[in-house]
Amino acid sequence: MDTWAGVAQAILDGFNRHYTLFRQYSREGKECFARADWARAAKVSRERIQGYERRVQETVDRIQREFPSVANNNELWPRIKIVFIGKLMDHLQSECAETFYNSVACKVLHRDYYNSEYIFWRPAISVQYLRGSQPTYRSYYPESDGLRRSFLEILTSFRLAVPFENLRRDLRYLERALLDHRSQGWKAQPNFQIQVLGTPFYRNKGAYIVGRLINGDTKEPFVIPILRNREETITVDALLMQQKDVAVLFSFSRAYFLVDMEVPSAYVSFLLSIMPQKSAVDLYAMLGLQKQAKTIFYRELQHHLRHSRDDFQVAPGVRGMVMLVFTLPSMPFVFKLIKDRFDPPKTVSRQQVMEKYLLVKNHDRVGRLADTLEYSNVAIPIKRIEPALLDQLKEEAASSVEIDGDMLVIRHIYIERRMEPLDRYLAQASKQERKHAIMEYGNAIRDLAGADIFPGDMLKKNFGVTRHNRVVFYDYDEICYITECNFRRIPPPRDFDDVMSDTPWYSVEERDVFPETFGPFFFADQKDMAQFKKNHAELMTAAWWRQIKDDIEDGRQADIFPYRQNRRFKHRYG
């Protein structure tokens, strides 16, 4: 075997090992759900995320060991790429294998070689109509088989290994929910069918059967959440058929699903048909293939820069003390760099900030923490950067940027979905919007606490409002685990001197938190605070936080649903 073929095969071997392990981790979702082993499910998710970089490094090490000439000869890589393309014909994860190739090559090549001759700047293999060993989805025909019979076949086809608490009741609820969803005058067309993806989606304490309802020219989402009960049974919790509900289920602020996919591109194509407002970036990420999401986003960014004229600019809003944030107005994302020096009173280090972002990546985000795409060596045309931003980058993040000809190269950057900062949103919200946002603000803090996350800096500027009017936290430099905090009440003053003192009359250790002092962080306006207290007054008591901490330490995981309570059958029909 010549050097080109040997290196190409080594890279493909590395990817195949990665994806084999990826599927093994994903299949564990079913076992964890059956055993109600939520701690193991969280560990599996973390190991799956971390496994990619390990396989990449293993492959780089193998190439340097077996083919040392390649590490010192960049000119060999165009031929290696051609040979690698030939090995991807009919490969069922070819798009992901191309990304893996890029990850390996970019660890060996200098960034001057990051172009389509040396790496997959654009995809080389089409993923349309790939055929796996089994069909991607199964079809059911309610008109001929009966609606309830179709639901029975769908629920039992996955062999979930845990008995239903009351299958007859669940079938009745599903049938009723589908009939309630139909508009007046609905009529079955000759192609009326329910198509269901071949493997369930697992996350947190739920399993999700994901499909679509076809009738004539319409395609509607069809998602059945199934919950594990304490009595070692399972229950159908809802039927989600509105695009907004399913979009929230697949939100960027939630943990990745564990789902076993032989042909991931087929799953993404299916999901795009029921969530057209989503992008392939969103869906590859939510399926746990975050590196593929990064590849697609970077391609889209480069394409967008060639077909737009607006410039990168400093992000509007309150200036960050730790992160330098900028935007390209025509794209719905923000770009975040860690500053060289942090404004007082911030005392964290650069390494600690990176560790916080990694914590969020590996943790259950419960719909309240924004996911990020992390990049190295991103090149941006200097002519597309506003002077004020360029000055800030040079002054405040000089160690992270380098000018290379007519390009600004950013050595390390985080990219996340742009949201309206909560403080700016409230400044222009209507009365009803304000009321909802205040409720959501408290809900976000509750959900984070239930997921063992203490936000630290809970100022409203650190929360954003999504397009679905959900409040999400996105400032991570002070977050920590709830279990690391010591929640205390403020002891009463001993005398008048204590009351008048500029310093606390009580001891304060590093991990001490005093929820009674949260009020000014929440709302200075009395009306807003009164509205907040209607539903969330206990968030300013040490007792509430200590109870949450005790629950987490005792292994009691909070129930946080990725859909509205009024969608649950127990509220609709119970």
Catalytic residues: 371
- DSSP character string of 11-52: HHHHHHHHHHHHHHHHHHHHHHHHHT-HHHHHHHHHHHHHHH
Burial class (CB in 10 A: 0-12, 13-18, 19+), 546: middle
Query: Which token pair is 259?
Result: 């789902």
Q: How much of the chain is helix, strand and coil, in % rounded to 5? A: 50, 15, 35
* SS3 category, 410: strand
Check: CB of residue 61 under 8 Å from CB of residue 231: no
Partners of 202 in the β-ladder: 207, 258
Question: Hey, which bits of 130-232 come out as E strands?
Answer: 137-140, 193-197, 201-203, 206-215, 218-228
Cα(171)–Cα(155) distance, integer angstroms: 9
Q: How many CA atoms lie within 13 A of 422 on its CB side?
A: 27
Secondary structure, 3-state, 358-394: HHHHHCCCCCCECCCEEEEEEEEEHHHECHHHHHHHH
Q: CA-CA distances (angstroms) from residue 166 to 123, 163, 470?
A: 48, 9, 33
Smallest Cα–Cα separation from 380: which of 468, 313, 428?
Answer: 313
- For the chain, give the number of residues: 574
DSSP assignment letter at 396: H
Check: CB of residue 275 under 8 Å from CB of residue 219: no
Cα(402)–Cα(399) distance, integer angstroms: 8
Check: CB of residue 263 under 8 Å from CB of residue 136: yes
Which run of H or E residues covers position 333? strand 333-338
